[in-house]
Amino acid sequence: MKWTLIAATGLLIFSGCQSYRYYDPTKPHRGESRFFNNYDNSPKASFWKWQWERLTGPKIEEPPFQPEVLKTDTAFLRNNRNENTLTWVGHATSLLQIDGVNVLMDPVFSERVSPVSFAGPKRLVALPFEISELPAIDIVVVSHAHYDHLDLPTLRELAKRDANTIFLVPLGDEALLKSEGIQNVKEMDWWENMQIKNLTLTFTPAQHWTQRGLFDTNKTLWGGWHIQGKNLKALYTGDTGYSQDLIDIRKKLGPVDLALIPIGAYEPRWFMKQQHVNPEEALQVHRDLESKLSIGVHWGTFRLADEPMAAPVEDLKKALESNHLDAGVFRVMKHGEILKLKN
């Protein structure tokens, strides 16, 4: 009995000392207990300080935000096999049709981006179309586990619609999706790539973080998705603060034809700077990537920060003007808009 107890105690101690399953000493971002950024791992600014300032600070009135929502030609999207297109659904949710393959990025069709259905950030702009109106989705890519990017009700519905849809997620998120009955899942590390049909998809680094519960901060990875077809290279950066990562991506994978870059959720800067670029920094990302065309995403759908809802577009326009750049090189889309891309 005595030796059994000692052995059991030793096993518990040994088990408690086991390395994090994703730990890899050859990869600095895969630490002993969590993931890290490549360049900035300084402590995050206090979320509670930000909330206190919001509660006690002056209330700023802003004009009503009523952006135009287009009626998307979903019949065209369902029948399209020849044209490369980008459709912005809202926030970061975008559909890229490339070389006859339908890639859906960070799909969120829920009314709230929250762990509960009765509280948390609510959709302020109507969906341009319902999930049932989407074309058959070949690939879903998820950038990270925050609720405004990894929306389980939407992912479950997409898996239910088509068992052949492939879900690509960061390291650590595969188990979550499988626990929800989504089986066709592949999790990937930074710089890993996967060939699907005639596309090459590469998971790229970003300056960000993840959390879904109280005790899982940075237990799953975050990043962006580089999608290369025959004649088009696209990059969705995912949520990111400004960092050397974007230059690294261009050096490894070359300039891109199309970049989807976040432009919203950037105020106050003392809290948001490490994790979200502002429009001026987004423009620098555009330059770092040597992007031919950039589209601003991650704005105008959910209130996630302190800038007015319309501010990202206005600040992007100012940044382009101050840098003497044509507005056509970095633009925003209307909710539901389909943009036909050069093949």
* Predicted pLDDT at 3: 40
pLDDT at 259 over 60: yes
**Which residues fall within 8 angstroms of residue 9, CB to CB, at 6 or more apart?**
none
pLDDT at 13: 35
Question: 80-139, pLDDT tens digit by residue?
Answer: 999 999 999 999 999 999 999 999 999 999 999 999 888 899 999 999 999 999 999 999
Summarised one tens digit per residue, pLDDT across range 153-199 is: 999 999 999 999 999 999 999 999 999 999 999 999 999 999 999 99
CA distances from 155 to 109, 171, 223 (A): 9, 17, 18
- Which of residues 165 and 2 earns the better pLDDT score? 165
Q: Which residue has the tokens 């077809």?
A: 229
Q: Report helix, strand and coil shares of the chain as percent, to nearest 5.
A: 25, 20, 55
Q: How many CB atoms lie within 10 A of CB 276?
A: 25
The answer to whether 235 and 86 have CB atoms below 8 angstroms apart is: no
For the four alpha carbons of 68, 103, 293 and 264, in that order, the dihedral sign comes to positive
Give mean pLDDT, residues 216-235: 97
Contacts of 4 (CB under 8 A, 6+ apart): none
Token digits of residue 147: 């609720």
Exposed e or buried b for every residue in 83-103, given b needs 16+ CB within 10 A? ebbbbbbbbbbbbbbbbebbb
Give the least confident one: 49-63, 116-130, 283-297: 49-63
- Averaged confidence pLDDT in the chain: 93
pLDDT of residue 116: 87
How many alpha carbons lie under 13 Å from residue 188 in its C-beta half-sphere?
Answer: 24
Q: What is the pLDDT of residue 57?
A: 86
pLDDT at 12 over 50: no
What is the domain partition of the chain in residue ranges? Answer: 70-340
Residue type, 18: Q
Bridge partners (DSSP) of residue 112 are 122
Please give the CATH number for the structural domain made up of 70-340. 3.60.15.10
pLDDT value for 343: 64
**Assessment of whether the complete model's pTM goes beyond 0.85:** yes
Inter-residue contact 79 to 86 (CB < 8 Å): no
pLDDT for res 227? 98
Q: Given pLDDT bands bounded at 50, 70 and 90, which one contains residue 299?
A: very high
Return the axis-axis angle of helices 279-289 and 245-253, rounded to nearest 10°: 20
- The answer, yes or no, to whether residue 17 has pLDDT greater than 90, is no
Compute the distance between CA of residue 191 and CA of residue 103 in angstroms, rounded to an integer: 19
Q: How many CB atoms lie within 10 A of CB 66?
A: 10
pLDDT of residue 61: 78
Summarised one tens digit per residue, pLDDT across range 305-327 is: 999 999 999 999 999 999 999 99
